[in-house]
Chain A
Amino acid sequence: MQNRAPNVGIEELRERIESLGGSGLRKREVLPFGIASIDRHLPGGGLALGALHEVAGGGNGALDGAAAALFVAGIAARIHGKILWCLTRRDLFMPGLVQAGLSHNRVLMVESLDEKGVLDCFEEGLRCGGLGAVVGEVARMTMTSSRRLQLAAETTGVTGIAIRRWRRQSEASDYGHPTAAVTRWRISVVPSEPLPVPGIGRPRWYLELLRCRAAESADYVVEACDAQGRLGLSADLANRSPSQDAWAASANR
């Protein structure tokens, strides 16, 4: 990652643009991921709170949205307050989300008959202001509806996260269309870390930041959320896998 220190002028310009854009009424708060390479890249040093974000799964994950749900649960777990989770299909398995750090006592589920209802509740939740975050599982999101959600999130400071989830693989190309969301993520599963014994290691994700307002897109390989909802840096990417550490420790002894 390049160092951001020489770009002071650009930062200044950015702040001026923010203050012109109306959203600068409130100091933008952020939620850091706790991984330096991601936080350094995102404007403000983390995921912007009080804004709309989009998350989808890659490959088959675009249909089942399993990894996307966990990624969102990990974010929601670290936001203070109740979480409103709007969906149409009742297939979310709470014990799985609890393992990503999101307590089931904090989640209010809203089940609607159609997508229109989900967007309706999504916006209502964002406008209410007493919640920590609102999550909505939708397939279609137009520029207009996302703009409404983004405005509602900006006014109340509640974070909105749209999990884009489609019924058919062919519909997933919809994810290329522009929306008013501040960031757009795609989470794909990759083979887990090999273990020295039979079994499945900690799951790993290929995290793509497809679009981000005021920053460039990027991609990372990370370890899935732990019990506190924090992502981990993939061991071989950080080039200090636990086995190597153990090796070094034993060599020094």
Chain B
Amino acid sequence: MVGREGGRRLIMAADAAALAAGLRVGMTAAKTQALVSNLLIEDLRPDEDRRELDRLALWFLGNYAPIVAVDPPDGIVIETTGADHLHGNETLMLTGMINRLRAMGFAARAAIADSRGASHALARYRADPFLVISEGGTPAAVLDLPIAALRLEAGLVASLRTLGFERIRELEATPRAPLALRFGPEIGRRLDQILCRAVEPIDPIRPSEVIEVRRAFAEPISAAETIARYVGKLVKAICGLLEERGLGVRRLDLLCHRVDSGVQVVRAGTAKPVRDVQRLTRLLCDRIDTIDPGFGIEILVLSASRAEPLDAVQSVSSLIEESVADVSGLVDVIANRGHRIYRIAAVESDVPERSFMLVPPLAEDDEVGWPMHWPRPSRLFLQPEPIQCIAPLPDHPPVRFTWRGIRHVVKRADGPERVFGEWWKRDKELVAVRDYFSVENAAGERFWIYRQGDGEHADSGSGSWFIQGMFG
């Protein structure tokens, strides 16, 4: 990407391949063309970048957290407090985020820290590609970063460098007054922000036409019971609004604006569109203990950030039809407490670890199922464990094997069941073969073991043995 700065055409951004070829941001376009032949150069289009960034921010708002802001030219700020539990934990959320972005074609780096400034700096200078700083560890993590990480103007950074400042630590150790006298208050402000000494509000983007209700209090509230009571009232109000539009919520955000301008968030998701006051109140009240009211909450905002049409359904009235108990309430409660809830559906694959997939708990019934003519173990190891095995070639079951240092003598065995590699997935699997045996030892324990390869052709597999499951 090439942009214009003054009269010169400079490289503004480059992809990984270009960086590997020796190009750097800030080079002139003419020089790069001299360095690398047939280089693809495109003009920088800042407006389109900005529009794309806005769209991405909306995507984050819909998928991750209720407070999201754009940080042009290339950043997005997310307040993850109160939203990470829906994805397991902070690390899982970040890795998931990066993987999903990668699937969309973005190279992303992300960091979570205590302050906006620190996350901004760490994502750009330390994250590879993600970094989670535990609570309270932020100052130690940022002190060794270069001063460019402070979000100062380029000119300011250059003049600080001239004076010999390289790291934030050095700047932090310098008396504040002379710095402010010479460079203005900006440095001190940024330092305070990165070291969590000053609050930095995030100005969140709000999608239009979102259904929300708010309640401002004359006196700030902080007791859990009071919050719960007002949450109940807000839920009732929002359910009224939803009913007018024929909608049900899939995701509900409770934003608690504190008197010290901080915002605390509780987010609750549901598996199906819901408009039930009691259920929604319970989901939100379940997490009230995660709200830190500080000096008090002055405004409560409840918004249905994702709503879907909810039609009235007639309940079973005939005597023949059996009513199926609705478990979606339970699913919501469990999912909002941070547990993963899912069902397992069959995938048409003979390779055991690929023969199933996780589907949402309320997905349609899976009609496919697995073939039943071979016995299958009840426990499958996610990672097959190598075993040492003595077996006559080419296709006899093993005579004895050693697993986790214990020798098992095989008394009875069944097999082989031959599983061929899935050549349409990977070239390597074109000739790959696994021979599965179920074996029983003297004590009656039954194992599911396999040999990599057919025992005759070296290219079908190495011939080493693995244990993959336990029969009951």
Contact = CB atoms under 8 A, between A and B. Distances in A.
Interface of A: 59-61, 64-71, 73, 81-82, 84, 86, 90-100, 104-105, 107-113, 117, 120-121, 124-125, 128-131, 187, 189-192, 195, 198-201, 203-205, 224, 227
B357 to A, nearest CB: 10
B372 A110 contact: no
B161 interface: no
A204 B444 contact: yes
In the A-B complex, the 8 residue pairs with the smallest Cβ-Cβ separation, listed nearest first, are A130-B325, A67-B472, A70-B472, A93-B380, A96-B378, A66-B470, A95-B376, A191-B444
B377 A96 contact: yes
Interface stretch (B30-38, B216-224, B406-414): B406-414
Given A59-B443, A131-B325, 12 more contacts: A93-B376, A93-B380, A94-B344, A98-B369, A99-B372, A100-B378, A111-B342, A113-B88, A117-B338, A121-B337, A124-B333, A203-B444
Interface residues of B, number: 54
A112 to B, nearest CB: 5
Given A64-B379, A66-B472, A95-B370, A189 B345 contact: no
B446 interface: yes
11 contacts: A91-B380, A93-B352, A93-B377, A95-B352, A95-B376, A107-B344, A124-B330, A189-B443, A200-B438, A203-B472, A227-B372
Contacts of B356: 93-95
B440 A111 contact: no
A104 B325 contact: no
B378 A82 contact: no
A71 B471 CA distance: 12
Contacts of B366: 104-105
Nearest to B341: A110
B337 to A, nearest CB: 7
Given A98-B372, A124-B333, A198-B413, A191 B443 contact: yes
B325 A66 contact: no
Contacts of B339: 86, 110-113, 117, 120-121
Nearest to A194: B412
B378 A108 contact: no
A200 B414 contact: yes
A158 to B, nearest CB: 10
Interface in B357-372: 358, 361, 365-366, 369-370, 372
Contact of B378 (A92, A107, A111): A92
Contact of B344 (A61, A104, A125): A104
Contacts of A107: 343-344
B427 interface: no
B393 interface: no
A110 B439 CA distance: 31
Given A64-B470, A81-B325, A92-B378, A108 B372 contact: no
B444 A189 contact: yes
B376 A130 contact: no
A227 B370 CA distance: 13
Contact of B379 (A92, A99, A129): A92
B327 A108 contact: yes
B334 A65 contact: no
B378 A66 contact: yes
Contacts of B106: none
Contact of A71 (B88, B369, B376, B472): B472
A197 B303 CA distance: 68
Interface of B: 88-89, 325-327, 329-331, 333-334, 337-346, 352, 355-356, 358, 361, 365-366, 369-370, 372, 375-382, 411-414, 438-440, 442-446, 469-472
Contacts of B376: 93, 95-96, 98-99
A109 B471 contact: no
B361 to A, nearest CB: 5
A189 B439 CA distance: 13
Contacts of B334: 110, 121, 124-125
B18 to A, nearest CB: 41
Contacts of A81: 325
Contacts of B337: 117, 120-121
A100 to B, nearest CB: 7
Contact of B444 (A69, A70, A82, A190): A190
B442 A191 contact: yes
A236 to B, nearest CB: 14
Contacts of B472: 61, 66-71, 96, 187, 189, 203, 205, 224
A60 B445 contact: yes
Contacts of A99: 372, 375-376
A187 B439 CA distance: 19
Contacts of B443: 59, 189-191
Contact of B412 (A67, A93, A192): A192
A74 to B, nearest CB: 10
Contacts of A60: 445
Contact of A200 (B325, B330, B352, B446): B446
A111 B338 CA distance: 9
Nearest to B327: A130
A129 B327 CA distance: 9
A103 B471 CA distance: 18
B340 A82 contact: no
A201 B413 CA distance: 10
A224 B443 CA distance: 16
Nearest to A57: B472
A91 B445 contact: no
A248 B331 CA distance: 56
A169 to B, nearest CB: 12
Contacts of B470: 64, 66
Nearest to A100: B378
A130 B471 CA distance: 31
A227 B375 CA distance: 11
A68 to B, nearest CB: 7
Nearest to B438: A200
A71 B443 CA distance: 19
Contacts of A95: 346, 352, 355-356, 370, 376
B326 A130 contact: yes
Contacts of B329: 128
B325 A82 contact: yes
